């Protein structure tokens, strides 16, 4: 498939990121209507539990390395772009041999099973094209679904280092820091993907937004590194990169990138009767991270014997991540590289 032209050079991590904007090169195509959203998990069980975001969790106060956030993202993205076998994961308390191939690139193989409108598989590589940091909150600390497009417009039309405009194989990712409020964040979604309107941005660009939930609703959007207060006795898992908000974002980013790649203009791969509420390849497996997952059980995960961190894939440099499984169209079930019976 068409190869991305953008450079894969990773800039050094900078501090105090507010809005991080990434261009990802990929191949895929066109047209559409309907909003898609990744809902928070675990699902707010029943109507008897309130649907309000939990904003005052004790671990909501965790804020560790804000400045390291971008570094984690970049590593996650560069891990995806790494073709071939990744490094061997560290020793785990569960079956190490079974998990040896549980890499980020192996996780992306499920996405590759999908084809675009020209019948070609989704490309094997995803390349971080460029990033832009909006550290001065150019559009304020409260964004709506529409004003997100203004942020994107500013990024691609900026006088200094504008992001490349690539409607054909570019994916745009807007990441907001923990102090930015976004319409529907926490109550309904942890992230979503859609495409920009030519009337606002000048182009139809597939994009996703993912928010850092550390202070606003970690129990919803950074689960299982934080847990909802309405489930008594549930203990949070240790975040593999030491940052609850960012480790929680990684899974949402994975979810959105998988869907952006397979359904960039929200008209391609989805299941269900109602195209206004499409269920896409990541939606189908929301909350499932390992063998046996389903309902409120995430499935068999890996726990690092050294620090107790919970994860299911390993990327470049042995960096650990927890990402949800994706719908495998060949097997017709949710699948991930840490499956025990592969």
Ligand X SMILES: *[C@@H]1O[C@H](CO)[C@@H](O)[C@H](O)[C@H]1NC(C)=O
Question: In the complex, what is the shortest distance from the CB of residue 172 to ligand X, in angstroms, rounded to a whole number?
Answer: 25
Query: Minimum distance from CB of 133 to ligand X (Å)?
Result: 35
Nearer to ligand X, 231 or 331 (CB): 331
Contact 187, 37 (CB under 8 A): no
* Nearer CB in complex with ligand X: 4/287: 4
DSSP letter assigned to residue 131:
E
**What span, in angstroms and rounded, lies between the C-alpha atoms of 102 and 123?**
19
Q: Rounded to whole angstroms, how far apart are CA atoms 66 and 82?
A: 26
Of 29 and 133, nearer to ligand X (C-beta) is: 29
Question: What is the closest distance, in whole angstroms, from the C-beta atom of residue 169 to ligand X in the complex?
Answer: 18
Q: How far is the CB of 195 from ligand X (least distance, A)?
A: 24
Q: Quick one: 10 or 113, whose CB is closer to ligand X? A: 113
Number of Cα atoms under 13 Å in the Cβ half of residue 117: 11
Rounded Cα distance, 297 and 42, in Å: 9
- To the nearest whole angstrom, how small is the minimum distance from the Cβ of residue 122 to ligand X? 8
Integer Cα distance of 318 and 278 in angstroms:
35
What's the alpha-carbon Rg for the chain, to the nearest Å?
A: 18
* Of 87 and 329, CB closest to ligand X: 329
- Rounded Cα distance, 238 and 213, in Å: 16
Binding region for ligand X (CB under 6 A): 112-113, 115, 121, 329-330
């Amino acid at each position: 498939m068409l190869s991305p032209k953008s450079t894969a050079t990773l800039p050094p991590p900078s501090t105090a990121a507010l809005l991080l904007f990434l261009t990802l090169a990929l191949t895929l195509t066109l047209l559409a209507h309907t909003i898609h959203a990744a809902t928070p998990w675990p699902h707010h069980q029943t109507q008897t539990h309130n649907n309000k975001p939990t904003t005052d969790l004790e671990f909501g106060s965790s804020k560790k390395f804000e400045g390291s956030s971008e570094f984690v993202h970049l590593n996650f993205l560069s891990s995806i772009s790494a073709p071939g076998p990744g490094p061997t994961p560290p020793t785990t308390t569960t079956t190490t041999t079974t998990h040896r191939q549980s890499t980020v690139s192996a996780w992306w193989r499920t996405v590759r099973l999908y084809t675009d409108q020209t019948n070609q598989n989704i490309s094997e590589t995803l390349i971080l094209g460029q990033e832009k940091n909006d550290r001065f909150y150019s559009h304020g600390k409260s964004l709506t679904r529409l004003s997100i497009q203004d942020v994107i417009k500013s990024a691609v039309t900026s006088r200094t280092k504008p992001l490349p405009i690539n409607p054909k194989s570019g994916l745009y990712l807007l990441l907001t820091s923990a102090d930015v409020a976004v319409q529907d964040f926490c109550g309904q979604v942890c992230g979503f993907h859609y495409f920009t309107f030519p009337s606002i941005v000048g182009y139809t660009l597939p994009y996703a937004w993912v928010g850092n939930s550390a202070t606003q609703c970690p129990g919803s959007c950074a689960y299982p590194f934080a847990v909802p207060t309405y489930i008594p006795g549930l203990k949070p898992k240790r975040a593999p990169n030491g940052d609850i908000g960012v480790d929680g974002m990684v899974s949402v980013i994975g979810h959105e990138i998988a869907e952006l790649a397979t359904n960039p203009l929200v008209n391609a791969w989805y299941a269900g009767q109602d195209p206004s509420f499409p269920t896409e390849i990541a939606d189908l497996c929301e909350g499932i991270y390992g063998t046996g997952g389903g309902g409120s059980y995430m499935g068999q995960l890996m726990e690092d014997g050294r620090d107790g961190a919970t994860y299911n894939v390993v990327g470049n440099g042995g960096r650990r991540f927890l990402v949800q499984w994706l719908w495998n169209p060949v097997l017709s079930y949710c699948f991930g590289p840490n499956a025990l019976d592969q």
